[in-house]
Structure 1
Amino acid sequence: MDARAEDAQLMARYAAGDMAAARVLSARLSPRAYAHAYRVLGDSAEAEDVAQEALLRLWKQAAKWDAGRAQASTWVYRVVANLCTDRLRKRRESGLDEIDVPADPSAGVEARMQDAARYDALQAALLRLPERQRQAVILRHIEGLANPEIAEILDVGVEAVESLTARGKRALTADLAAQRDALGYDDDTV
């Protein structure tokens, strides 16, 4: 059985009162919802809130879920995307984007430090992308979703997704190019 059919079956079981089905579906969808929210927002507490809110909304839909109309994971990504957009809008209105986030003081072995530096550089570069490009790049290249799924999540056409991801990748490449040596990239793998 494919993931879509399993998710639909779990939704139906939850709607019928099977709490174990809800736990299984939560375990499948929560990490992806959190990861997407974190990559868009850059804040773990906010990402947790968004992921929880998205799953709560999913559970409220369980009784009237139409498996033929939407895939649970796609629906959750769309809700996460919308919740992130709302939070980013509120940040801009309140001026919270201008507050510096303290750096992580923990240090590890050299490889771990380099991985952390690469992750931080990518996260910072992602946060500098326009919101729609950021979401498209994250969904395509980090979450591994197909363009038609991303189009559904972002409520745009497939061509728009292709354009958003292409522009986002070009911007990320340009943004990170100056940091290649510092991040330990001495070949063309970036």
Structure 2
Amino acid sequence: MSEPDDETLLAAYAAGDMAAAAPLARRHLPRVLAVAQRMLGDAAEAEDVSQEALMRLWRIAPDWEAGRAKVSTWLYRVTANLCTDRLRARRHTEPLNAANDPAAPEPGVSERMQDAQRRTALEDALARLPERQRLAVILRHMEELPNPEIAVAMGVSVEAVESLTARGKATLGRILAGRKEALGYVDE
């Protein structure tokens, strides 16, 4: 038997069924956490943002208007806003730190080193993009969301998402162009 949809679970939570929160968190927390991690480049900070996004969902549950927005889209938007707030605060207090690389799988040492260099290069390049371009690229190409859902999450038109994504990819290409060989990418 499949779990109820997001709106049913949220309505149940709002009506006092605390157990309805767990399936919603299991369903959405991994992707919300991934978006926050990519936006912020810091695992601990991404966890804080993800928890805050879910807390905000629980707080608005009684006022949720079914059919107005998807829970996932709402969570992406809240997560993006929380990340943007933190990034702005960082600019005023400290420089961006190098991203923490997630644990590597079991390949050999040289493969792990090259993968780590590639991840670091991509995260460094992403960090250099303007926030809206970064978010559009992450949601489209890393989270693989469709443009209409990204548009709702970002509060922009689908055309704006397409433009932000295209400009972000072009800028990433320019940033990484001189590092192709060093990162092990060879034209065949």
Q: With structure 1 as the length reference, what TM-score do the two structures score? A: 0.88
- The residue identity in structure 1 corresponding to 2:162 is E
> Do the aligned partners of residues 113 and 62 (structure 1) sit closer, same or farther apart at CA in structure 2, a change above 3 Å counting?
same
Write the deviation string for residues 41-75 of structure 1: whole angstroms up to 9, x where unpaired. 11111111110000000001112211210100000
Q: What is the match of residue 117 of structure 1?
A: 117
Q: What is the match of residue 58 of structure 1?
A: 57
Write the deviation string for residues 143-166 of structure 1: whole angstroms up to 9, x where unpaired. 111111111111111111111000
Q: Distance in 2 between matches of 1:115 and 1:62?
A: 41
Instruction: Report the CA distance between 1:18 and its aligned residue.
Output: 2.5
Q: What is the match of residue 135 of structure 1?
A: 135
Matching of residue 81 in structure 1 with residue 80 in structure 2: yes
Instruction: Report the CA distance between 1:109 and its aligned residue.
Output: 2.0
Q: What is the match of residue 97 of structure 1?
A: 95
Q: How many residues align?
A: 184
> Do the aligned partners of residues 81 and 102 (structure 1) sit closer, same or farther apart at CA in structure 2, a change above 3 Å counting?
closer
Instruction: Report the CA distance between 1:137 and its aligned residue.
Output: 0.5
Moved more, 149-158 or 50-59: 149-158
- Cα RMSD, aligned residues only: 2.4
Moved more, 11-20 or 152-161: 11-20
Write the deviation string for residues 111-168 of structure 1: whole angstroms up to 9, x where unpaired. 2222221111111110011111001100111111111111111111111111100000
Write the deviation string for residues 84-124 of structure 1: whole angstroms up to 9, x where unpaired. 11111111122x125x44877x9962222222211111111
- The residue identity in structure 2 corresponding to 1:97 is P
Write the deviation string for residues 7-29 of structure 1: whole angstroms up to 9, x where unpaired. 11211222222233211110111
Q: Distance in 1 between matches of 2:138 and 2:159?
A: 17
Q: What is the match of residue 14 of structure 2?
A: 15
> Do the aligned partners of residues 2 and 67 (structure 1) sit closer, same or farther apart at CA in structure 2, a change above 3 Å counting?
farther
Calculate percent identity across the aligned residue pairs.
62
Q: Distance in 1 between matches of 2:57 and 2:34?
A: 17
Q: With structure 2 as the length reference, what TM-score do the two structures score? A: 0.89
Q: Distance in 2 between matches of 1:24 and 1:129?
A: 34
Q: Distance in 1 between matches of 2:33 and 2:95?
A: 20
Q: Distance in 2 between matches of 1:16 and 1:103?
A: 40
